[in-house]
Amino acid sequence: MKIRFIHTADLHLDTPFKGLSEFNKALADKLKDASFQAFRNIIDCCIVKKVDFLLIAGDIFDTEERSIQAQIRFVTELKRLSGAGIPAYFVCGNHDFLGSWLDTLQIPGNTIQFGSSLDCESFHRDRVALADIYGISFGTKAVTENLAARYERKGNPAPISIAICHGTIGPAGAHHNYAPFHLSDIQDKQFDYWALGHIHKRAIIHDAYPAVVYPGNPQGRDFGESGEKGCYLVEIEPGQPPQLLFIPTQVVRFEKIQIDLAGIESIDRLPPQITNAIRAMPAYDERVSCIVQITLTGKTRLHAQLRKPGEIDGLRSLIMNEGQLLETPFMWIDRIEANTRPDINMDEIEKGNDFAAELVKLFDNYSDDAAKRTTLLQSLSEELLSAPIKREIVPLSPEDEKDLIERAKWLVLDQILTELL
């Protein structure tokens, strides 16, 4: 008996979009419903595809944002799903741990919210239990225990066993290392499907026996969450490997694009070059709105021209304007960074015996020497007296520090090497 369900996670409803380079109210307004709309798209998909149930593997909202709307609208959509006779099962993650939910919220009768201890709910069709769904919610924000290890099938199980779990499998990467576990911890537990959440990049960790899947978040929220975002439509037949179909649900897509200007002689060629690069992104869908950061790289004769004040802004306005935000879908270029280099032999410069050569050597020395970098940046931090500003400064990674020094180097070299550029 086949079952069909949708697996999603990390909705992060009513949370902000980060990393947009300039303040733009129209853009902010445009984005305000994106997370809700992505969830609506999932509910629509459940109804249209007539799935048996919906699984949500935590982080439905961000408790630190203290959003009322997130929970209310979450329940509103669940009621719509319930109205279509489709039950939902969800666990709470680190962002929406059990204690953070509004205690007066009334979820529909056929929606199951798992508690902080392992529980099992059976899905029935025609009074026959087809699947057992197990889940453990985060009771507090920081759960460092291996929750996955606590999942055990009950006696006399249904033909299909599914585990919903919010946690980190393997290295955490950019994410908090909550509820960490390894594949080996769950491989022998005889579950058919591990519906995971927490990692925002979708990944099929293991194809079958068991299938271990992160669906990623259904809507990207910054340029670090680029690419297609959505959920998985899963079909499982006992004894067969699950069939997974990725369904895009995002309303706005975030992308970073690098364009190498090597060989490009005229700045007039840049707008079509950029437009083509946008269209050439993987799984580009013109029906989905898009916010793009473009980095121009490479050695180019256009380097000096691109460094002139207003040149990049002019280029951006050639490709898009504010009016694009009136359209749906829209295409918005968040910023264009000219990270180009002049078409000169830097080795020759460095070999020289003049001031420029000394400069290049010293900048490179700072870039390569972590201790010197730290000292340098520490001295900057001391100059930055404003505590409120300091609080909002994102700590720099070593790569960021190197980038900063490279940027500083070219601030000087662009002016010293004017005759060479």
Partner 1 sequence: MVSLGPNPHGIAMIIRDIYIDGFGVWNGRPLTGFTKGINIITGRNEAGKSTLQKFIRYTLFGYPHLTEHRMAPVNGGVHGGRIRCQLSSGEEAIFERSSGSKGGNIKLEYHGANTSDGAQWQQLLGNASGDLYKNIYAFSLDELVELDSLKSSGVEDKIFSVGLGLGNTSIGNIESGLSNQVNAIYLPRGSANRLAKLMTEFLQKKTRVQEIQNDLPRYQGLNREIETLQAGLEKTKQDLQVSRNEHSRLKNLLACYDNFIEAEYCREGLLALPAKQAYPGNGLVALDKLEGTESSLLEKIRDLQQGTGEEQGLLELENERDAIIVKDDLLKQQGKLTMLVNGLALHKQKVLDFKEDDEKIKRIEESIRQELQRIGSGWDTGHIREFGNTILHKDKIAGFRQRREELDRKRIKLETEETTMAANRPRLNIPAIAITISISILILSIVGIIYRIYIPAAALVLIAGIVFWRRGKYGSTEDPLHSVRHELKALREKEEPAWRKDYQTYLVSELRIQGSLSTDAVIDILNSIESIKKEIAEQDELQARQGRDRSPSILAYNQEAASLKPFLDELEAADTTEEWVHLARTKFESAKRDAERKSRLEEIIQQKTRLLERAKTELQETLTSTEQLLGGIGAEDRAAYRKKYADNEEVIRLNEVRNRAILTIEKIAGINTFDKVSQFLSTHDKATLDENIRALDAEVQLLEGQVQESSTSIGGKRVERDRIEGESALATHLTELEMVREKINQDYRAWAAGKIALKIMAEVKAKYEREKQPAVIKSSGKYFSAMTGGKYGRISVSLGEKAVRIYDALEASKPIEQLSRGTKEQLLISLRLGFIEQYETQSEPLPVIVDEIFVNFDPDRLKETARLLHDFAQTRQVLIFTCHPSTKDYFEGMEVNAIDL
Calpha distance 141→100 (Å, rounded): 9
Helix runs in 222-310, H state only = 270-279, 303-307
Nearer CB in complex with partner 1: 7/30: 30
Nearer CB in complex with partner 1: 22/347: 22
- What's the closest the beta carbon of residue 358 comes to partner 1, in angstroms? 5
Nearer CB in complex with partner 1: 102/283: 102
Nearer CB in complex with partner 1: 7/303: 303
Calpha distance 246→45 (Å, rounded): 12
- What's the closest the beta carbon of residue 313 comes to partner 1, in angstroms? 14
Asked if 210 and 192 touch (Cβ cutoff 8 Å), the reply is yes
Asked if 199 and 213 touch (Cβ cutoff 8 Å), the reply is no
Nearer CB in complex with partner 1: 126/382: 382
Calpha distance 327→365 (Å, rounded): 49
- What's the closest the beta carbon of residue 66 comes to partner 1, in angstroms? 4
Nearer CB in complex with partner 1: 351/407: 407
Integer angstrom CA distances of residue 264 from 119, 274, 303, 335, 410: 62, 12, 11, 20, 20
Asked if 97 and 141 touch (Cβ cutoff 8 Å), the reply is yes
- What's the closest the beta carbon of residue 270 comes to partner 1, in angstroms? 22
- What's the closest the beta carbon of residue 197 comes to partner 1, in angstroms? 20
Q: What's the token pair of residue 238? A: 């006992």
DSSP string, 352-412: SSSHHHHHHHHHHHHHH-HHHHHHHHHHHHHH---HHHHHHSPPPPHHHHHHHHHHHHHHH
- What's the closest the beta carbon of residue 372 comes to partner 1, in angstroms? 10
Give per-residue burial for 323-333: e unless 16+ CB within 10 Å, then b. Answer: ebbeeeebbbb
- What's the closest the beta carbon of residue 38 comes to partner 1, in angstroms? 12
Asked if 290 and 329 touch (Cβ cutoff 8 Å), the reply is yes
- SS3 percent helix, strand, coil of the chain, rounded to 5, is 35, 25, 40
- What's the closest the beta carbon of residue 366 comes to partner 1, in angstroms? 7
Nearer CB in complex with partner 1: 68/84: 68
Residues of this chain that interact with partner 1 (CB under 8 A) are: 14-25, 27-29, 31-35, 65-70, 72, 102-104, 353-356, 358-359, 362-363, 366, 376-377, 379-380, 383-386, 388-389, 392-394, 404-405, 407-409, 411-412, 415-416, 418-419
Q: Position 277: which residue type?
A: A
Nearer CB in complex with partner 1: 246/330: 330
Asked if 215 and 232 touch (Cβ cutoff 8 Å), the reply is yes
Nearer CB in complex with partner 1: 208/408: 408
- What's the closest the beta carbon of residue 376 comes to partner 1, in angstroms? 6
329: preceding bond cis by omega (within 30 degrees)? yes
Asked if 95 and 61 touch (Cβ cutoff 8 Å), the reply is yes
